[in-house]
Amino acid sequence: MNNSSFRLSEIVARLGGKVLGDPETEVFQVATLEKAGQGQIAFLANAKYRKQLEASRAAAVIVAETDAELTELPRIVAVNPYSYFAKLSALLNPLPAMPPGIHPTAVIGDGAVIAPDAHIGANVSIGAAARIDAGTVVMVGCVIGERTIVGAHGRLYPNVTIYHDCVIGRHVIMHSGVVIGADGFGIAMDEGCWLKIPQIGRVIIGDHVEIGANTTIDRGALDDTVIEEGVKLDNQIQVAHNVRIGAHTAIAGCVGIAGSATIGKYCRIGGSAGILGHLQIADNVEIASFTLIGKSITEPGSYAGIYPFSRNDEWRNNAVHLRHLGELVKRVKALEQEMKSSKGEKA
């Protein structure tokens, strides 16, 4: 646990913003407005929590310019209090340092190159001709395939598996259970039996990507599966072969992305959404949770396809009507045509 404390003046010197109130106020941890106490700093990023600000016992708070006069507490005024809180939390809670070196139980293949300051934990397996760059941490039980490259200052939590020939950028975080480069679901029917199609592409992951626990990213069938820089993937996401995810896109848990879909930059995809294969999603698209995308999206904006829940008996009744929707449309069109004809006769 980090016990370092910082004065508000020191924080502003590092992260920007300005101090109102006592700049010598010291904080050692972040907390919510409701729970913060001595030595803790909270933040206000949403107007609906202003009442909590009034009652907060935090040592200091982070606020926007518009809220700067709502409290007498020592405060940091920032353009974006939420992102400022994120930066400050990282400052107050640095990742634990891992000692450089290779654990004696690790298995290192022939020709593998491991930076002297990398950390290779117990029972790690690193394949032949693989490369682990400077400052990267590979924790207990990870498997790195042959000829795979893991860029500098990465962090692989226990039991991450990266198959052969993959390329991982710098400052990449992979949480436990991540699997990179497994075969995509490529099969062909031949005389009543499925034939496996060899998956000979790679997975290429850019810099500053984070991948949540038990997320899987399949290698390409022929070309590569590509995750561009700054992408953030939550837990339990399935990314199929030959998918491309554009830079700085964020995807919440349990999303499924079928093969050869292309997702643009700066997209936001809610949990449990589904994207069918071979579709194109434009930049700056927001997709609501549980939405199924069945055709390409060519314009930025927000998209949703969620059927509201209801009591079970009501849902069943509505479902019956939905089954006859096509028939109902035909009847309405026929009535419209009949009304037009009737008006014509009267005229």
Q: pLDDT digit string (tens) for 95-135?
A: 999 999 999 999 999 999 999 999 999 999 999 999 999 99
**Greatest distance between any 2 Cα atoms in the chain:** 96
CATH fold, domain 6-92, is: 3.40.1390
Active site residue 171: no
Helices (H), ranges, 141-279: none
| Model pLDDT, residue 130 | 98
> Would the CATH topology of 6-92 be identical to that of 101-303?
no
Counted residue by residue, the chain has a size of 347
pLDDT at 346 over 90: no
Q: Give every CB contact of residue 184 below 8 A, 6+ residues apart in sequence.
A: 199, 218, 219, 220, 221, 225, 240, 241, 242, 259
Helix (H, G, I), strand (E, B) or coil at 317: helix
pLDDT at 183 over 80: yes
Residue 167 pLDDT class (50, 70, 90 cuts): very high
Cα–Cα distance, 271 to 263 (Å, whole number): 15
pLDDT at 1 over 70: no
Q: pLDDT digit string (tens) for 139-156?
A: 999 999 999 999 999 999
Q: Residue range 43-60: average pLDDT?
A: 95
Place of tokens 């509201």: 308
pLDDT at 329 over 60: yes
Q: pLDDT digit string (tens) for 279-312?
A: 999 999 999 999 999 999 999 999 999 888 899 9
**Residue closest to 279 by CA, chosen among 305, 244, 250:** 244
Q: Give every CB contact of residue 201 below 8 A, 6+ residues apart in sequence.
A: 219, 220, 221, 222, 223, 224, 225, 241, 242
Cα–Cα distance, 12 to 183 (Å, whole number): 48
| Model pLDDT, residue 345 | 60
Q: Out of 119, 171, 241, 248, pick the active-site residue.
A: 241
The structural domains of the chain, with segments of one domain joined by +, span 6-92, 101-303, 312-346
pLDDT at 55 over 80: yes
Q: 101-303 sits in which CATH class?
A: mainly beta
| Model pLDDT, residue 2 | 54
Tokens of residue 51, six digits = 């009442």
